[in-house]
Structure 1
């Protein structure tokens, strides 16, 4: 593990809005204020621990200054970000990402603006200890959860950490990330789940793979066509369907995961364990 320092600038925007200011800096703004101020993006970097074992780190903090504006030539557009990384050995690298912005109307039941990343992997790479790595953005950390879409409330400056991974270039890496062993649904604990994430920079086809617990007969087999994009997270619930997390569930009306401790195992079509996650009294000892 080593240290690095990140910083960022916004070099381009795909439209020509009125009052555009701050391109090539870490704070870009646009639009004619209709109240509290302009809208804009801010990126703040900092010192990070560089690890190459799939450990997530905070690439920087993203802020959307979301205030009512007028004069925009179109509602949706892209803003590009360049993140410079200076490693402690003197190596430098620049990684680029595109933010897709939806300046939604400030009326109706959902006036929040939306920010997405069309791709979560930087096209640029860096060689660390002889291996080529790209930066994979897992998502925006909002409310303690890492999400793929940034939902920005109106009339405020809204921030989220950008969570990222240094991942081997061109390879998938599906792993179990979390087990929620104790649900809140009384009796059945239908809202238990196992979260799986692709930490790799290439799609992971897990069709026919099995998610199982220590106990026999508690297996879930992923259907054909189950492919995780780089950085994508899915959840397998005990007996709830959540389309935003893939819509997977065991369809079992009783708890699966032992509240005190258990091991979740993700196995490929040959039966080989690809990822094992122990929690509670089955957690790996430090």
Structure 2
């Protein structure tokens, strides 16, 4: 574990936008005079595990006002300075894609501006205590959920925590979430979530998710790759492209409400990770 203190500046936009001010500071603004929108980054202090455990690297703020800027879509580069407890520092470079939507309806979510993470992995290894790690942005954390797209309603000060991790330069895929009680018909919105908390991609060809004791199994399509910091979800009977678009396609529940086990199984049959919940399935006849 190490302790870090962070700060950040918005170093540039691509392509160049006009009008803009605040480049090189922690608060960049653009758009019409008197009605400028902008990003602000607030640094943080955190105790950091060097094993892919996520931590808050800072807070992202979008001060969103109805405005005009050209072009309406552009990338904004953020440089985060990280100071470690021994006094050493490193700079991490990440990119956000901004879509300044036309305010044509006067309603949300239609007029929400959109912010997408463009760069998940800092391009250069980071040396900490003599070892090399990868810095990976997991996403924006809002209402307990980590997402790659930040929706920002007009005329609001909208913010989210920015979640990062330091990890070794190898894949490390885990089960990171399980929603075993759905709310829609047939519990279609149940899901199991996997996360690559490592610093390298993992090919999921031949891998599958198993639900015990219901017996459901979902094989990932050939060629599926989960990138560092990326999350996939397999829904019971819904399609969410932002999480990979995967579904069991089941008209009934996949995850038993009373309990069971979610398993992530590699192509050689090795159980990479498992997540027991409630009675673990032993309330049913037989073994899970």
TM-score normalised per structure 2: 0.89
What's the counterpart of residue 83 of structure 2?
86
Cα-to-partner distance string for 1:125-144 (whole Å, 9 max, x where unaligned)? 22234431121111111233
Partner of 1:112: 112
Structure-2 residue corresponding to 1:265? 263
Give the Cα separation in 2 of the matches to 1:19 and 1:220: 50
Alignment of 1:1-286 (within 5 A): 1-33=1-33, 37-70=35-68, 72-108=69-105, 110-169=110-169, 171-185=170-184, 188-215=186-213, 217-282=215-280
Greater displacement, 264-273 / 196-205: 196-205
TM-score, structure 1 length as denominator?
0.89
* C-alpha distance 15-219 of structure 1, shift in aligned 2 (>3 A): closer
Contact 2:44 2:58 in 1 (8 A): yes
Distance 1:256 1:15 in 2: 46
- In the alignment, the residues of structure 2 paired with residue 213 and residue 10 of structure 1 have an alpha-carbon distance, to the nearest angstrom, of 44
Contact 2:174–2:197 (Cα < 8 Å) also in 1: yes
CA contact (8 A) 2:204 2:224 kept: yes
Could you tell me how far apart the structure 2 residues matched to 1:59 and 1:42 are? 14
Task: Specify every segment of 5 or more residues in structure 1 that has no aligned partner in the other structure, as ranges.
Answer: none
- Give RMSD over aligned pairs: 2.0
Q: What is the aligned length?
A: 277
